[in-house]
């Protein structure tokens, strides 16, 4: 039988374009130190470490987990590396959670990072193998045609993407850890920013960030001890992962089956029948603005073709009926490997009541979500202020 597990500590770096003052190890350690301090434990209290990052080509360090063991306090303990492209931060949290839920470990540290300034992700994502036609151009070039397909399929007005960008960047300005601080962004400024991968504009794309995130997960006894000491925890109510091929005949790139199946399993496990009514805050992996309405539909918050209406009505703002990415989301900070874990961690912060200026008032149940590859990996969890 599955054991109770909870987030008992959260830490992250102040995400920046370039953290030239620290090595990769130092960057990770900054997040780890904050997470264990938040949990009120020391590294000696951690039983196992799970680490995630995007593909090695991004920094050109092969298997960085090997050299990070000391920095993560993992020497003499189990250390696992998770590898699911952009969703890896979410998958890292879920692997760590499973080690606690299985009753194997009492406290597990999940760490994810990216130091994008050491390389060029556009280059790393655009290697053209022999015999093929070199037309792809990074993640934006891959996803822009699917965004066009969403707009055509849903009939969404053209300004929805810009609305998401304005909301997420303004939310980011409430979050001191967010990379982009743009409190003065407007619909007009987004719509006049350069068109990069038509229909995706510059201000509708995620930044390149250096950053790390760490989360301490504890079993029921560890969580109860934290609560007894006056430290709020986020109880994990449901977890879900699904995968599908990047390309196959019949793949729905706008509403991928793996994402819909993962969400359905998640809500079932959490006992949630009306996600839009029962989720108080959602941290969804939105690297390009239009993915907010797309994933609202894929996750079952809205019927197919209707997700943009929630955005248009302001319901996804802080104060709306379903605040999405109150932290500023991937559009405000994108240390790729860490971006998924940040979604999961920010969902936890909301139900712990520790989200500061971007706190959703009274949030008791929150979603953390990540996807990766060509919409092929999906991971998500539901956390609550009380055990499920």
Interface residues toward another protein, by CB under 8 A: 19-26, 29, 43, 59-61, 69-71, 73, 75, 115, 117-120, 122-124, 126-138, 140-141, 144-146, 148-149, 152-153, 194-200, 245, 247-250, 252-254
Q: Within its chain, how far is the Cα of 232 from the centroid?
A: 21
Nearest CB to another protein, comparing residues 371 and 381: 371
Nearest CB to another protein, comparing residues 90 and 374: 374
Q: Which two tokens stand for residue 205?
A: 């794309």
Nearest CB to another protein, comparing residues 26 and 353: 26
230: left (phi over 0), alpha (psi -120 to 50) or beta: left
What DSSP element (H or E) covers 211?
Answer: strand 210-219
What DSSP element (H or E) covers 113?
Answer: strand 107-115
Q: How far is the CB of 129 from another protein (least distance, A)?
A: 5
Q: How far is the CB of 370 from another protein (least distance, A)?
A: 23
For residues 348 and 367, give the distance between their C-alpha atoms in angstroms, rounded to a whole number: 9
Q: How far is the CB of 377 from another protein (least distance, A)?
A: 15
Nearest CB to another protein, comparing residues 194 and 230: 194
Q: How far is the CB of 103 from another protein (least distance, A)?
A: 26
Nearest CB to another protein, comparing residues 56 and 274: 56
For residues 277 and 287, give the distance between their C-alpha atoms in angstroms, rounded to a whole number: 25
Q: How far is the CB of 2 from another protein (least distance, A)?
A: 31
Looking at residue 21, what DSSP letter applies? T
Rg of the chain over all Cα atoms, to the nearest angstrom: 19
Nearest Cα to 111, choosing from 25, 169, 191, 195?
25
Nearest CB to another protein, comparing residues 144 and 363: 144
Q: Which residues make beta-bridge pairs with 243?
A: 377
Q: How far is the CB of 67 from another protein (least distance, A)?
A: 9
């Amino acid at each position: 039988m599955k054991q109770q597990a909870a987030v008992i500590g959260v830490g992250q770096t102040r995400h920046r374009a370039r953290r030239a003052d620290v090595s990769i190890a130092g960057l990770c350690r900054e997040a780890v130190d904050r997470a264990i301090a938040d949990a009120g434990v020391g590294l000696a209290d951690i039983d196992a470490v799970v680490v995630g990052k995007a593909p090695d080509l991004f920094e050109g360090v092969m298997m960085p987990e090997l050299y990070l063991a000391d920095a993560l306090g993992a020497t003499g303990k189990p250390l696992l590396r998770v590898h699911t492209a952009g969703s890896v931060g979410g998958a890292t949290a879920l692997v760590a959670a499973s080690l606690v839920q299985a009753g194997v470990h009492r406290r597990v540290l999940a760490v994810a990072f990216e130091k994008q300034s050491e390389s060029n992700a556009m280059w790393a994502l655009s290697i053209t193998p022999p015999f093929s036609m070199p037309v792809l151009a990074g993640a934006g070039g891959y996803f822009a045609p699917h965004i066009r397909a969403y707009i055509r399929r849903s009939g969404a007005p053209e300004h929805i993407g810009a609305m998401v960008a304005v909301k997420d960047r303004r939310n980011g300005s409430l979050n001191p850890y967010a990379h982009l601080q743009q409190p003065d962004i407007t619909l007009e400024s987004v719509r006049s920013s350069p068109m990069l991968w038509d229909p995706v504009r510059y201000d509708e794309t995620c930044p390149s960030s250096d950053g790390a995130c760490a989360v301490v997960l504890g079993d029921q006894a560890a969580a109860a001890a934290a609560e007894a000491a006056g430290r709020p925890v986020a109880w994990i109510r449901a977890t879900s992962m699904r995968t599908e091929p990047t390309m196959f005949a019949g793949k729905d790139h706008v509403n991928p089956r793996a994402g819909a199946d993962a969400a359905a399993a998640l809500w079932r496990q959490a006992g949630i029948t009306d996600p839009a009514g029962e989720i108080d805050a959602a941290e969804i992996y939105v690297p390009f603005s239009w993915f907010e309405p797309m994933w609202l539909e894929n996750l079952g918050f809205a019927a197919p073709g209707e997700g943009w209406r929630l955005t248009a009505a302001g319901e996804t703002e802080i104060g709306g009926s379903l605040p999405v990415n109150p932290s500023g989301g991937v559009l405000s900070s994108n240390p790729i490997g860490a971006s998924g874990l940040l979604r999961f961690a920010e969902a936890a912060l909301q139900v712990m009541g520790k989200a500061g200026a971007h706190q959703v008032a009274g949030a008791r149940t929150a979603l953390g979500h990540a996807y990766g590859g060509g919409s092929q990996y999906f991971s998500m969890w539901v956390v609550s202020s009380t055990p499920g």
